[in-house]
Structure 1
Amino acid sequence: MRRQWCVLVILAGFLHVFLYQAAAQPATGEIRGYFPQFVLGSGAQSTIVLVNPSPHSPVQGTIELFDRLGNHWPVVVDQVPYGNGEVPFELPAGGTRFVAPDTGDWPLMTGWARIRAHSPVTATILHGGSAGQAGFPAVNAAVDYVIPVESRAGQARTSIAVSVPGGQPVSLTLRLLDAGGHVVPGGTASVELSAREQRASFIDELLPTADLSNFRGSLQVESNVSIPLVALHSAPGRLSTLPVYSRDQTTFFSFEGNLQGWEPRALDVDDGGAKADWSIAPSAGRNDDGGFSLLFLLDNLTDAGKIWIQKPIVVEPSRLYKVRVSYSFATKDFGTINLWRIIAGVRARPPERAQDLTFQGETGHGSPSDIGYTWLDKSYDFDVESGPDGLLYVFLGVWGTWETPRGYYIDRVTVSIRE
């Protein structure tokens, strides 16, 4: 009996470790879209509908649920609890799944959701409750929005819902325009959001001094970082979605097991006498989003090595664009001596020489002591004219200015482009 008890204890310990490790694994897969509004409780129900558009291949992924403060939202789906708010799914070719978390006896709770998958998947959310029913597809993040607005006392109201998917605070600038395109009195405001926060508000709540008793016009929303946004139109017993127009082209990269079309490049890694080994590849060892990031390794024996990734973005030819590149950068460089330099830039042609690269600040994390790797938020703005081929080349990396081997991580890259 004692031997059986020991075996059971060992087995239980193994299962505990296994389950703990499984629960601790971050959701992987590329981000396929956001739902800035997710509602449960008090008679309201949000249902996410997933469809695999491929006629040949299955798709696997995860629905990540967060409450309005950005914490993982524990839910129960089909009597299965998901304490970390991550609901995995697997769809056969052409398959469909409806995901409707149990509401129980909850009061009304709001939050947001994110869809990750290793291959394309179509996602739609359905909202139902006493205010009516509405549905909209998963949306991408952007920095610049225009929303049609209708507000009539007791008859119609317009609301927006936003969420902050990144780990930094967000500042929104609001401008309410009448039908003639003029800013109305009391029609400007600033809104501050915390990292990973979700907020849903009526326009008359955001702009309380503007006269919205009988109004039709539009709302411009500008953000300092890319965020997802949706708009809803409500009338007595009826709820419907409103079109949201984004004036910028935004793409997101989290390097979930691949380079996502970015090309590794290097300069000054072989001076004829010394050769600097280098690599840029996805790594599961450290991440700020999903399960992977890009690891930049350079054994800087030439004392001048430069390694980076670059990607062409298709735009209109020969036009001036404003480009914002933001990303997470992990470094363990400390102090102020022997720091390397950051490479981050946008050009109409791919960089071929050192003078074609754009060098930004240093690679230190700011601490005077060795505290290990630290994630930093980096963001840079560029004004650049596209070439006649209609391409802009974005590049990110490091310049080795000291003869030592070092490693850095880049994750959660967002590129926003607008005229």
Structure 2
Amino acid sequence: MEKALAWIEEKLLPPLSKLAEQRHLQAVRDGIISTMPMIMIGSFFVLIVNFPVPAWKELIAPYVAQIMIPYRITVGLMAVYAAYGMGSVLAQSYKLDGTSGGVLSLGAFLMTIVPQVAVSEATGNSLGFTLPMTYLGGAGMFTAILSMIIAVEILRFCKEHNVTIRMPEQVPPAVARSFEAIIPGMIVITLMWFVAVILKININEVLMGVFSPLVSIAGNSYAGVIIPVLLITILWSAGVHGVSVIGSIMRPIWIVLLEQNITAVAEGRVATNIGTEGFFDLFVWIGGSGGTLALCVLMLFCKSSYLKQIGKLSIVPGIFNINEPVVFGAPIVVNPILAIPFIVGPAITTTITYIAMKLDLVARVSVVAPFAVPAPIKAYLSTGGDWRAVILVLINFTISLLIYYPFVKSYDKKLLAEEVITETIA
């Protein structure tokens, strides 16, 4: 194990560290994360409509359409929010105006969706031009990413080559920045118009066709859930923030899968995608990456004063899914004794959770609950009130305890012996 960690540190870490710092991936990560509040709010309205109490469903049945409007304006438009957020982050990484980057990115994305004339089913009257919502949600996420890159890179090119409208120094900065974005904005909008309207290329359909095999693999195959878990835990064990690296790559796919689940439940159907980000957060990362809440509990009963102290400091954050204190305090990083259960435990709980969902023993995730909600409660809410999800969390937590136990016992003996020697010398 020590040789494996040394190889990872020497050979694998440098390129992965560069990947984690790659500005476009960081923009995707931070931009999509910025949409989480809207997704949480919208998914809770879905939970309100589908709360598993027959009397409640009967009571709100006449008002379902009205209750679901916040969902359609939040989850249903997540690619819109993401396009602005990602564009703003990427522009700021180039030290450009974040607002201009966000607006141009959003404009480029919306230009890929051609307005259509809608007719009221009730009256037959024209409703004027409307934007179809098919690709404004999760299905448009890949297009939002492409639009962000095109828009901000054109903005950067124009800025670096002085292809902008410069205003006198007396003009307020906000006004000057808006004028600087006119020429790059004209290029961006014209380009996207030419592709979508003149060439009649539906960029959203093309990208969804390209990425659909990956979405399918990530959402409903064992490989789609076990590979991210192994990569994340191995990277963490070597000192790299695994979720930052792997999450930056996988999160657009996870978002698409989640939106499909939320939409299915909102329409009265059953969520079918397994590999959403909630799969990992709720059932695998109990207490944080590596399922470290079990480790925190075991350290409370250690004889080593150091481990017991780390356990006391880590248990409360661990309950709320924050595990940096134990990851770097125990430590797990570059520590073969604890790295083994840190990698093996999540692999086993991932397998169990995948089988449980594949056999429809537990509902798939269709609600986004706040990150810091403790696992059993969060699992119940995120699966639309499925009590079996709570049982699965408890089973996985127990398995994590059993896997960590012999390694913690061994590590405790090692540290206790070192403490005794230190005290004797003192």
Per the shorter chain, which TM-score range? under 0.3
Which one has a larger percent strand, Structure 1 or Structure 2?
1
Q: TM-score, length-normalised on structure 2?
A: 0.26
More helix by share: 2
Give me the TM-score of the superposition, normalised by structure 1.
0.27
